Structure 1
């Protein structure tokens, strides 16, 4: 009687080998999609949320986690390549007039002296989205929400066009010091993408702000807000999923790096 072929299902060693590979695949998937996300979250999350975060998909919102209907959605802005109309001189001029009420916090030329965002040279779509989110209540601020409330959609577009038109006053980071690993490479084992993949450097996403030269205190506060969920206007929870994995030391390091001038 001849022995079954090595590749035949009737060969016991073939069955053992295939079974061992399948078992390893199941264990690896369980570790990557369940154990690692659960072990690296400071707050309790459900099994389904852990799997969703590992796959890069937002999980179901927790009941009562957000206070109102506006906060339950991250934003009403539909992001597309054509969301911003081409800015012209009239739009920039109207924006300059509207920006006079913003100078106390954001500076006469869009450079803050009060640890608020520097808006000069910022991405136009990023400014517009944040103003829309403030007005709709998706991003909370005791100062900015009342300021954004009376603005029309055209007003917000004009302000964004004006501040994007202003020259940047930032020193290129590559000329000052080496980037932290989280900026250049991220931390894939903790589901953290490289900061430079969205915020300039390797790529620039449509509504992701440039972080170079923003106040260190502001960046640190926003990362803490994303981490604890008090800021939740990030599309698909991209920033919250990343910030939940960061330690206090890493947040301090990132803020210091981007905040240098």
Structure 2
């Protein structure tokens, strides 16, 4: 009589081996997908499905809810593009002028501040709109601006941006124009600092990068310090934070003085 093959399931030792391997696989899956995630996360695991998702590296239902609740972890919720603003018309500018009456105490009657607040006259429309959105969502913090934006809808913010962008950008006449610092024209490539002019001003003006010429010196200096220490973090790709972290106090002072005098 022919003996059954060693690899045949008719061989009882083969059946025992396959059964043992399957049992170990089930136990390993239970440990890896259930016991370990629940032991590590405790109550945060939420449910059996959340534990499995955690082990697989996929956010479960409770994790998704916590992520959506912590929206401020993102730098901004504004998608910056060249077409983010619709062409402004006279009606939009007029509505913006009416809304801007509440802003005159800090930003001046015609968008030129006397209180070291940003000058908004002639500012890039998309830049104003983005900052208003970031103030409202909490991505940019300000005890003054957040209450001012809380009741604005999206059209209100677009109208304000259209109005201030429409105003002429006023500059003081210069008898002896300042020579641009090297950081403005060339940056400092060895320290991974790009030229300021590559984003701010001239033909290289980016879609939501603000014009810095004529802004109050104290305001520019404070913002560079805020980017450097991370207290301001609404730059989408951390480009300002990465740059500001490399600046010395003397360089920040020099840049602020140069742009304020432009």
Q: Aligned with 2:132: secondary structure?
A: helix
Listed one character per residue, the Cα deviations across residues 7-39 of structure 1 (whole Å, up to 9, x for unaligned) are xxxxxxxxxxxxxxxxxxxxxxxxxxxxxxxxx
More helix, by proportion: 2
Counting matched residue pairs gives 194
Residues 178 and 261 in structure 2, CA contact (< 8 A), matched pair in contact too: no
Give TM-score, length-normalised by structure 1: 0.72
Moved over 6 A (4+): 172-175
Q: Identify the residue that residue 177 of structure 1 maps to in structure 2.
A: 178
1:231 and 2:232 matched: yes
Return the alpha-carbon distance in structure 2 between the equivalents of residues 77 and 83 of structure 1.
9
> What is the distance in 2 between the residues matched to 1:165 and 1:98?
14
2:144 aligned with 1:143, yes or no? Answer: yes
Q: Tell me how far apart the structure 2 counterparts of residues 114 and 255 of structure 1 sit (CA, whole Å).
A: 16
Partner of 1:206: 207
Greater length-normalized contact order (CA 8 Å, ≥ 6 residues apart): 1
Q: What is the alpha-carbon distance in structure 2 between the residues aligned to residue 174 and residue 231 of structure 1?
A: 35
The answer to whether 1:246 aligns with 2:247 is yes
The answer (yes or no) to whether the contact 2:76–2:235 under 8 Å persists in 1 is yes
CA distance in 2, matches of 1:240, 1:173: 31
What 5-or-longer segments of structure 1 have no aligned partner?
Answer: 1-67
* CA distance in structure 2 between the partners assigned to 1:202 and 1:196 by the alignment: 9
Q: Distance in 1 between matches of 2:235 and 2:74?
A: 9
Matches within 5 A, 1:1-261: 69-171=70-172, 176-201=177-202, 203-261=204-262
TM-fit CA distance, 1:71: 2.9
Deviation at 1:80, TM superposition (A): 1.4
Deviation at 1:99, TM superposition (A): 0.1
The 3-state SS of whatever aligns with 1:139 is coil
Whether the 8 Å CA contact 1:196–1:202 is kept in 2: the answer is no
Offset at residue 174 of structure 1 (A): 11
Q: CA deviation at 1:260?
A: 1.0
- d(CA) in 2 for partners of 1:146 and 1:197? 33
- Normalised TM-score (structure 2): 0.72
Residues 128-159 of structure 1 show CA distances to partners (whole Å, capped at 9, x for unaligned) of 00000000000000000000110000000000
Structure 1 contact 124–164 (Cα < 8 Å) conserved: yes
User: 1:175 Cα shift?
Assistant: 7.1
- Output the CA distance in 1 between the equivalents of 2:226 and 2:160: 25
Q: What secondary structure sits across from 1:235 in the alignment?
A: coil
Cα distance in 1 between the residues matched to 2:203 and 2:96? 30
Contact 2:227–2:244 (CA under 8 A) maintained in structure 1 = yes
